[in-house]
């Protein structure tokens, strides 16, 4: 699925996932994606 994303897009998803984990959330929400930007 992520193959269609640009390298920058993949990094945003990775950063968003790390932020969600840091905040101990078990979901990836729009707030995490915004922080990933």
pLDDT in tens, 1-37: 778 999 999 999 999 999 999 999 999 999 999 999 9
Please give the structure tokens belonging to residue 14.
Answer: 């990775």
pTM over 0.75: yes
Backbone angles phi, psi at 3, to 5 degrees: -60, -25
pLDDT of residue 15: 97
Q: Is the dihedral of CA 30, 27, 1, 9 positive or negative?
A: positive
Q: What contacts 24+ positions apart, CB below 8 Å, involve 33-37?
A: 36/11, 36/12, 37/12
Q: What is the pLDDT of residue 3?
A: 86
pLDDT for the residue 2: 79
Task: Determine the Cα–Cα distance for residues 37 and 32; give it in Å rounded to an integer.
Answer: 9
Q: Give the per-residue pLDDT at 30.
A: 96
């Amino acid at each position: 699925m992520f193959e269609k994303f640009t390298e920058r897009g993949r990094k945003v998803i990775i950063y968003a996932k790390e932020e969600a984990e840091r905040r101990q959330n078990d979901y990836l929400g729009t707030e995490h994606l915004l922080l990933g930007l």
